[in-house]
């Protein structure tokens, strides 16, 4: 996979435009200067706690990978391996054009180097994405029900139902290989041979209820640790921990949850590197709507992004350079793993 100069230009152009607009209208945006001043006065202890939860979020996601990948009959992957690729691929996802696709490619290449089959790699990608999406949707539903957030409940519920249906289909696929083989028998020969290989690979996946519960629990922890990073960011700026009820110019726990959901929704668009600009605007807006002042909300959002984006991405690139770059896992390097 390669990144062309045109791709980099298209990726960076919105960010350059955003910076230019902020500079041009700096006199009309005095709250930004005040926010930076507030940021410099942030409480250091919640900042340290936020850095810890940000790292813990990725470690939890790595444990999801370990549990799902070890559902194969012969593969046994260590926590060290999954933590390294999770942190490195996250850096790819947030900082290069088409990051999520390239991140998935890097993860796939590393998993194949462990000995994972194509079917197991695909199964992990689908199942981990479904579980993670389900938890984000449930956090969004909680924000609506307990905070009155301006999110569409029908859309959230339909996303939840779709995730459950897709998970059921994936489970059925892994437990009924004979029916899939019979179905694939009618396909053209050029497709049938490879399709049957993937079906046979999926048939080797055996995930116990305990392993599925463990993966789901760690996927939830991945989300909750990420929410906690925003929570500690708000705490660092305001000087007090958000509770169940909002005080003057303060938000609540559910207000933080709403800000987190908005950050994830904005970040998924990836219009600029790491969603810079859109993530900050929507997250700060959600925190303001839940009771914070614009200055404090902006400062808290900046703290959150410095930890969860800048700090975590920097760590990820260091891990990539030491763990994978020297092994040839580079953009532009053409590698083809054996199909089986």
Distance CA 139, CA 65 (A): 22
Q: CB–CB of 278/271 below 8 Å?
A: yes
Give me the pLDDT at residue 223, please.
Answer: 92
The CA angle 102-107-111, to the nearest 5 degrees, is: 150
pLDDT tens-place string over residues 41-71: 778 899 999 999 999 999 999 999 999 888 8
Mean per-residue pLDDT, 316-334: 77
Strand partners, 252: 243
Give me the pLDDT at residue 165, please.
Answer: 83
Q: CB–CB of 278/268 below 8 Å?
A: no
pLDDT beyond 60 at 20 = no
Mean per-residue pLDDT, 175-181: 72
Measured CA distances, 237 to 57, 97, 158, 319 (Å)? 21, 32, 36, 30
Distance CA 251, CA 256 (A): 7
Mean per-residue pLDDT, 175-204: 72
pLDDT tens-place string over residues 113-139: 998 888 888 888 888 888 888 888 887
Give me the pLDDT at residue 274, please.
Answer: 64
Q: Which residue has the higher pLDDT, 8 or 280?
A: 280
- Residue 10: which pLDDT band, with cuts at 50, 70 and 90? low
Q: Which residue has the higher pLDDT, 148 or 97?
A: 97
């Amino acid at each position: 996979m390669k990144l062309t100069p045109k791709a980099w230009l298209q990726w960076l152009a919105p960010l350059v435009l955003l910076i230019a607009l902020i500079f041009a209208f700096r006199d009309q945006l005095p709250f930004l200067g005040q926010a930076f001043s507030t940021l410099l006065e942030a409480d250091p202890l919640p900042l340290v706690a936020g850095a810890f939860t940000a790292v813990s979020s990725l470690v939890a996601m790595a444990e999801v990978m370990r549990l799902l990948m070890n559902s194969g009959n012969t593969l046994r992957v260590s926590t060290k391996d999954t933590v390294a690729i999770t942190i490195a691929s996250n850096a790819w996802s947030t900082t290069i054009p088409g990051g999520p696709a390239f991140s998935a490619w890097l993860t796939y290449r590393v998993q194949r180097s462990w000995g994972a089959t194509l079917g197991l790699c695909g199964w992990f990608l689908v199942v981990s994405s479904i579980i993670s999406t389900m938890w984000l949707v449930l956090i969004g539903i909680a924000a609506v029900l307990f905070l009155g957030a301006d999110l569409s409940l029908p859309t959230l519920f339909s996303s939840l139902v779709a995730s459950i249906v897709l998970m059921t289909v994936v489970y059925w696929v892994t437990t009924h290989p004979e029916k899939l083989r019979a179905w694939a028998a009618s396909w053209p020969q050029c497709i049938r041979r490879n399709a049957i290989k993937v079906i046979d690979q999926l048939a080797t996946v055996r995930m116990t209820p305990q392993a599925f519960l463990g993966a789901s629990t760690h996927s939830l922890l991945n989300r909750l640790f990420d929410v906690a990073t925003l929570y500690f960011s708000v705490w660092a700026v305001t000087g007090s921990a958000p509770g169940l009820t909002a005080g003057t110019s303060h938000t609540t726990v559910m207000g933080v949850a709403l800000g987190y959901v908005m950050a994830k929704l904005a970040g998924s668009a990836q219009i600029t590197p790491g969603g810079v600009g859109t993530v900050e605007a929507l997250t700060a807006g959600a925190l303001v709507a839940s009771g914070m002042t614009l200055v404090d909300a902006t400062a808290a959002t900046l703290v959150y992004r410095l930890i969860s984006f800048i700090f975590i991405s920097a760590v990820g690139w260091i891990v990539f350079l030491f763990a994978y770059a020297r092994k040839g896992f580079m953009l532009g390097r053409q590698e083809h793993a054996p199909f089986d």
